[in-house]
Amino acid sequence: MNRRTVLALAVGAALLASGCTGTGGTSKGADADAPDDPAKVDGTITVLTHRTDLVQDGTMKKYAAEFNKTYPKVKVEFEGLTDYEGEVKIRMNTENYGDVLMIPAVIEKKDYPKFFASLGTQAERGKKYRFTDYTTVDGKVYGQSPLGVVPGFVYNKKVWNAAGVTDWPTTPAEFLDDLEAIKSKSDAVPYYTNFKDMWPLTQWTNVNGSVGCDTQATTRLAESNPWAQGADLRVGDTLLHDIVRRQLIEKDPTTTNWEASKPKLAKGEIATMWLGSWAIVQMQDAAKQAGTDPADIGFMPFPAQKNGTFCAVTSPDYQQAVNVNSDHKAAARAWIDWFTDKSGYADANLALSPLKDGPLPDVLKPYEEAGVKLLDIDDTKGAEVKSIDNQSEVGIYKPDYRQELVDLARGARKGSLDDFLTGLGEKWTEAQKNLGS
Amino acid sequence: MTDTTRKAARPAAPTAPAGPTPPSAARRTRRWRGVTPWLFLIGPLVLLIAFTYAPIVNMVAYSFTDWDGVSPELHYTGAENYAELFTRPELFEVFLVSGYYLAASVVQIAAALYFATVLSFNVRFRNFFKGVLFFPYLINGVAIGFVFLYFFQDGGTLDAILSLFGYDGDRAWLGTPASANVSLAGVSVWRYMGLNFVLFLGAIQSIPGELYEAAELDGANRWQQFRHIIAPGIRPVLSLSVILSVSGSLSVFEIPYIMTGGATGTETFVIQTVKLAFQFNKTGLASAAAVVLLLIILAVTWVQRRLVPDDKVDLV
């Protein structure tokens, strides 16, 4: 064997070895039981979180101190990750992804038992908590969202009132007329798309359920065409299209700026944005900074009524879960329970409590007065919807197709709305068939 | 690493005093002499294999699976990903966008050549201009993306400059596919021209000065000097630049990804691949797409080398 062959073989072997990096190690089905005696739980747990802002300003530390009053022997450490999804996804190829973490959206539901320890059965947890079905696999629950959000239009009350609109519009057509009124009577941008920042466009998927007022909305996504005539997503996407087509949006959507949009809404330069109840706090903060009245920030449901009432769906934030490889599962479980039940995190974020009997936050009081029905959507088929979404490359939780929709509406892309939505429907139903077979 | 150096050092010490047994010592010395270069090479080779070739092999391996990027399970699917790729022509339509960048790279090379030629002669503030032209290449691509986002924004820098000249074009620069792609390609010219410029300048300056003197004595003007001395003198560098810009325009990523995220018809093949892998979790398919892009670029380069062979240049 001459030197060159030896080298080639060595390199080849090294490459082959690396090529076979199997991701093995499937430990399965651990439980993280709630500890009986708080004083006996000990260990250091690491909590991975996407709320880098709360880690930096010390809010998380305050929660930990509060937690230590009940669980004195547990040390809680936080790791705030700016690109939460991206980083945790990669770390989950190892065993080292904290003790408590938010379940990244990319993890498939059927894989939950491989990555997370169960928090209990759905039958039992479902009585007390919202959103349990979002993380239920085979009757066991793997995560718990610390708060709930409700989608809706965040709007500037002053601007809307000045345009002579005081009642919430009840149909998409009425909503469009109101935006027209704002456009003609003020200098405000009636609707701001946040096109460039992309993710605000994905919020439009949360329309699903509000139109038909149906708790089975997710199941219907999995089983039928979401863009069929009268289907929720078609109604929502058509409204977005019409808003853009009638030029009720900012002048140049391709250079929008999310951070700058907040003070603009607070100052009344922007009238409306479709976001969610989570955005109200941020808008109110922006109002305080801009020196305007935070009470001007209003929140309204999607303009559609069923039998005379508005419907708004509740959806969870990131779900907290226990790492199945954690050495301190009891402590991790204690943290999740405490954070969900006692921390007041939902209140601080003016969000919906994850407890079924929790009181409504102040920001949703107008909803209560107007008799808006809050719907807890059944998410049993949530995993299927996700795989159809990925398989079809439609991306209802991704910004791309709505960007195309906006481009279509403002004439930067050729085609008609009908063809576009039909095309989406075809891709969707084809993926349904492929996955079903 | 420390381990290997120690091993290399230990036997070296006894070789010197091992006089009494010359034959075996000599053999040993010879053997160690053969091994020494490899010991020095281990460092770079390990790095090269670990960080360049192994990931590529991994990628090729993933391209034959249905891996989603996280799941502990992956299944071998044969050439299915490649079959899917080639039966979906819409996945290759994005290469049309590369046309804009290809056209831009012609402009870029021409401009770089012009500036390199002009600045190779004695011009006032020569070094200052060299710095100005090369500077954009030193800036981080992400920063450039953000800077130009403000530049093209409604009422941004570009609009402000144009209105100084009394031109009030009320247009969204990134608003339509054609306008957006031209704008983005313009940014890429701005960014990469400096690199071409420096390569050309280096090549031009390596041409011996006597040639210009002789040409001047013969009464050649600047254009004739360029045509008959500079152009043939920098041919290898020129063809390298062309190869770099062709492969560059096939795999544009940074600037459009940061500025538009691929919206409004600015999606390139690499952006599409990234979206397949990280949005739709089709890591297997995306790996296959990456392999195909690699092959396309290799093929294009090969064809180009065939058409324009790299001859030895002999000016004298």
Q: Where are the domains of chain A?
A: 38-145+319-349, 151-314+380-436
- Which residues in chain B touch residue A21, judged by CB atoms under 8 angstroms apart? 58
Q: Which residue has the tokens 């390990």?
A: B46
Query: So what's the pLDDT on residue A359?
Result: 83
Q: In this model, does residue A13 exceed pLDDT 80? A: no
Instruction: Determine how many CB atoms are found less than 10 A away from the CB of residue A253.
Output: 26
Quick one: tokens of A77? 């450490």
Query: For B63, which residue in chain A has the nearest alpha carbon?
Result: A19
Q: What pLDDT, on the 0 to 100 scale, is given for residue B113?
A: 93
Flag whether B315 is in a domain. no
Residue B312 DSSP code:
P
Stretch B46-54: mean pLDDT: 94
| Mean pLDDT to the nearest integer, A250-270 | 90
**How far does B314 lie from chain A, in Å, by closest CA?**
35
Confidence of residue B15 (pLDDT cuts 50, 70, 90): very low
pLDDT at A19: 45
Q: What is the pLDDT of residue A356?
A: 86
Element containing residue B84 per DSSP (H, E): helix B80-86
Q: Is residue B68 part of a domain?
A: no
Q: Among residues A93, A8, A84, A73, which one has the least CA distance to residue A47? A: A84
Contacts of B278 in chain A (CB under 8 A): 86
- The reply to whether B139 and B249 lie within a common domain is yes
Q: Cα separation of A321 and A318, whole Å?
A: 9
- For the complex shown, is ipTM > 0.90? no
B253 vs B144: CA distance, rounded Å: 13
| Separate counts of helices (H) and strands (E) for chain A | 19, 16
Judge whether residue B110 has pLDDT over 90: yes
Give how many domains chain B has, as a whole number. 2
3-state class percentages of chain A: helix first, strand second, coil last, to nearest 5: 50, 15, 35
Here the tokens at position B170 are 């009320």
When CB atoms are compared, the residue of B49, B70, B154 closest to A14 is B49
Chain B nearest CA to A94, separation (Å): 10
Nearest to B264 among A23, A108, A254 (CB): A254
φ and ψ at A147, to 5 degrees?
-155, 165
Q: Are residues B111 and B200 in the same domain?
A: yes
Give CA–CA dist B247/B293, Å, rounded.
10
User: CB distance from A251 to chain B under 8 Å?
Assistant: yes
pLDDT for A160 equals 95
Query: Roughly how many angstroms between the first and final C-alpha of chain B, as a whole number?
Result: 49
For residues A358-396, one letter each, b for 16 or more C-beta atoms within 10 angstroms of the residue's C-beta and e for the rest, the string is beebebbeebeeeebbbbbbbbebbbbbbbbbbbbbbbb
- B128 and B172 belong to one structural domain: yes
d(CA A71, nearest CA chain B) in Å: 34
Q: Which residue of A has its CA nearest to B283?
A: A390
CA-to-CA distance for A227 and A229, rounded, in angstroms?
6
Chain A residue closest in CA terms to B146 = A255
Structure tokens at A365: 């009081």
Residues A89, B74: C-beta atoms closer than 8 Å: no
- Residues B9 and B93 reside in one and the same domain: no
Q: Are both B239 and B113 inside the same structural domain?
A: yes
B52 with B155, same domain: the answer is: no
* Distance between start and end Cα atoms, chain A: 53
**Is residue A265 within a helix (H) or strand (E), and if so which, with residue range?**
helix A258-267
Residues A395, A406: Cα–Cα separation, whole Å: 15
- B-chain CB neighbours of A400 within 8 Å are 262-263, 275, 279
The predicted model gives B71-86 an average pLDDT of: 87
Residue A373 φ then ψ, to 5°? -85, 125
Give the chain A residue whose CA is nearest to the CA of B53: A15
> B49 is in which domain, residue-wise?
2-62
Nearest CA in chain B to A91: B70
The pLDDT score that the predictor gives to residue B168 is: 73
How many Cβ atoms are within 10 Å of A208's Cβ, its own excluded? 26
Residue B123: pLDDT over 90: no
Specify the pLDDT at position B312.
64
Asked if B144 and B16 sit in the same domain, the reply is: no
Among A278, A277, A252, A282, CA closest to A264: A282
Q: How far is CA B212 from CA A50, A268, B130, in A?
A: 64, 68, 21
Query: Whats the size of chain A, residue-wise?
Result: 437
- Read off the pLDDT of residues A409-429 as tens digits, 9 standing for 90 and up: 998 888 899 999 999 999 999
Q: Do B279 and A403 touch (CB under 8 A)?
A: no
Residue B7 CB contacts under 8 Å (≥ 6 apart), including other chains: B39
CB of B289 within 8 A of CB of B276? yes
Give ∠ CA B62-B64-B70 in degrees, rounded to 5: 35
Assess whether pLDDT exceeds 90 at residue A154. Answer: yes
pLDDT-derived band at A1 (thresholds 50, 70, 90) equals very low
- Rounded Cα gap, residues B218 and B212, in angstroms: 10
A82 touches A366 (CB < 8 A): no
Give the E-state strand segments of A104-238 in sequence order. 116-117, 120-121, 136-137, 140-141, 148-149, 151-156, 189-191
Tokens of A277: 């109840």
Model pLDDT for residues A126-143, shown as the tens digit of each residue = 889 989 989 999 899 999
Q: What per-residue confidence (pLDDT) applies to A322?
A: 94
Whether residues B8 and B100 share a domain: the answer is: no
Q: Report pLDDT for A85.
A: 84
Clarify whether residues B142 and B245 are in a common domain. Answer: yes
Give, as one character, the DSSP assignment of residue A113.
Answer: H
**How distant is the Cα of B205 from the closest Cα of chain A, in angstroms?**
39
Other CB atoms closer than 10 Å to residue A65's CB: what's the count? 11
Sign (positive or negative) of CA dihedral A249, A252, A256, A262: negative
Let me know whether B248 and B124 are in one domain: yes
Return the residue of A nearest to B45 by Cα. Answer: A11
Q: How much is the CA Rg of chain A, to the nearest whole Å?
A: 24
Element (H, E) at A276: strand A270-276
Using a pLDDT cut of 70, give the percent of chain B over it: 90
Domain A38-145+319-349 and domain A151-314+380-436, same fold? Reply is yes
Q: Is B180 a member of any domain?
A: yes
Same domain, yes or no, for B103 and B57?
Answer: no
**Measuring CA to CA, how many Å separate B172 from each of A254, A301, B87?**
8, 32, 36
CB contact under 8 A, A395 and B175: no
Residue B138, Cβ neighbours under 10 Å: how many? Answer: 10
Do A50 and A69 contact (CB within 8 A), yes or no? no
- pLDDT computed for residue A435 by the predictor: 86
Q: Is residue B76 part of a domain?
A: no
Binary contact (B172, A252; C-beta < 8 A)? yes
Indicate the pairing of strand A320-323 with strand A116-117.
Answer: antiparallel
CB contact under 8 A, A398 and B69: no
Distances (CA, A) of A235 to A165, A304, A412, B12: 22, 9, 22, 81
- The percent of residues in chain A predicted with pLDDT above 90, rounded, is 53
CATH of domain A151-314+380-436: 3.40.190.10
Instruction: Report if residue B67 sits inside a domain.
Output: no
Helix (H, G, I), strand (E, B) or coil at A6: helix
Indicate if the pLDDT at residue A437 is higher than 60.
no
Judged by CB atoms closer than 8 Å, whether chains meet at A111 and B71 is answered as: yes
B50, B95: one domain: no
Please determine, for residue B21, whether its predicted confidence score (pLDDT) is greater than 80. no
Rounded Cα gap, residues B96 and B102, in angstroms: 10
Q: Confidence class of residue A271 from pLDDT cuts 50, 70 and 90?
A: very high
- Answer whether residue B242 shows pLDDT above 60: yes
Burial of B316 (0-12, 13-18, 19+ CB in 10 A): exposed
Average pLDDT over residues A8-32: 54
User: What phi and psi values does residue A375 have, to the nearest 5 degrees?
Assistant: -110, 125
Contacts of A15 (CB under 8 A, 6+ apart): B49, B53, B54, B57
Cα-atom radius of gyration of chain B, to the nearest Å?
A: 27
Mutation for A interface: B264, B273, B274, B287, most A CBs within 10 A: B264
How confident is the model over A179-189, as pLDDT tens digits?
999 999 999 99
Pick the CATH number of A38-145+319-349 from 3.40.50.80, 3.40.190.10, 3.30.1330.10, 3.40.50.1820: 3.40.190.10
| Confidence category of residue B10, pLDDT binned at 50, 70, 90 | very low
Q: What is the pLDDT of residues A86-102, one digit of tens each?
A: 889 888 888 899 999 99
The strand order across the sheet containing A43-49 reads: A74-80, A43-49, A100-102, A320-323, A116-117
Mean pLDDT of A316-326: 92
Give the pLDDT score at B4: 43
CB A288 within 8 A of CB A168: no
Say whether residue A57 is in contact with chain B using an 8 A CB cutoff.
Answer: no
To the nearest whole Å, the CA of A9 is away from the closest chain B CA by: 13
- Can you give the pLDDT at residue A20? 44
B101 class by beta-carbon count within 10 Å (0-12 exposed, 13-18 middle, 19+ buried): buried
Copy the structure tokens of residue A288.
């305080």
In whole angstroms, what is the distance from residue B177 CA to residue B266 CA?
Answer: 6
Cα angle for residues A83, A89, A90 (degrees, 5° grid) = 100
Query: What pLDDT score does B180 carry?
Result: 92
- For residue B7, what pLDDT is reported? 43
